[in-house]
């Protein structure tokens, strides 16, 4: 799984260390975010994201929570599940698309002292 975007990818060959990123641009973006995180003093596990992107994600998750509650209620009322799938898939897709990309990341503790 790519350490930047979370996408699963196939690893070709077995020589050397397995790659952490699905493409070079993601390795570069992770490096740059880590550098900015280091400059800003972020600790391991800390992530800095854009406030607007964060608010967009919160809104998408709020709508997803409401959609899940609606589906649970509809199922409890005995409605046909197929009729709920389209709306739930759309709401899930919106939430997935709202995941913000980090501006800066903290260096994990196990990597921070080895350089
Ligand atoms: Zn990736």
Classify residue 32: in a domain, yes or no: no
* pTM of the entire predicted model: 0.72
Distance (angstroms) between ligand 1 centre and the Cα of 8 equals 8
Classify residue 60: in a domain, yes or no: yes
Sorted by sequence, the CB contacts under 8 Å of residue 30 that are 6+ apart come out as 3, 4, 20, 21, 105
Distance (angstroms) between ligand 1 centre and the Cα of 103 equals 15
**Residue 32 near residue 89 (C-beta atoms within 8 A):** no
- For the chain, what is the domain count? 1
What single DSSP character describes residue 45?
Answer: T
Classify residue 30: in a domain, yes or no: no
Distance (angstroms) between ligand 1 centre and the Cα of 88 equals 26
| Average pLDDT over all residues of the chain | 88
**Among the listed residues 64, 54, 37, 59, the one whose alpha carbon sits nearest the alpha carbon of residue 99:** 54
pLDDT tens digits for 65-108?
Answer: 999 999 999 999 998 888 788 889 999 999 999 999 999 999 76
Distance (angstroms) between ligand 1 centre and the Cα of 24 equals 8
Structural domain harbouring 77: 44-112
Query: Residue 111: helix, strand or coil by DSSP?
Result: helix
Which structure tokens are listed for 106? 């903290």
């Amino acid at each position: 799984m790519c350490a930047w975007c979370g996408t699963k990818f196939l690893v070709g060959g077995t020589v050397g260390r397995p790659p952490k990123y699905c493409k070079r641009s993601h390795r570069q973006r992770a490096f740059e975010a880590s550098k900015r995180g280091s400059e800003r003093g972020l600790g391991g596990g800390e992530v800095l994201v854009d406030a607007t992107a964060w608010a967009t994600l919160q809104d998408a998750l709020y709508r997803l929570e409401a959609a899940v509650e609606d589906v649970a209620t509809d199922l409890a009322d005995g409605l046909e599940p197929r009729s709920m799938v389209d709306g739930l898939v759309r709401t899930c897709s919106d939430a997935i698309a709202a995941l913000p990309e980090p501006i800066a990341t903290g260096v994990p503790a196990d990597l921070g002292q080895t350089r």
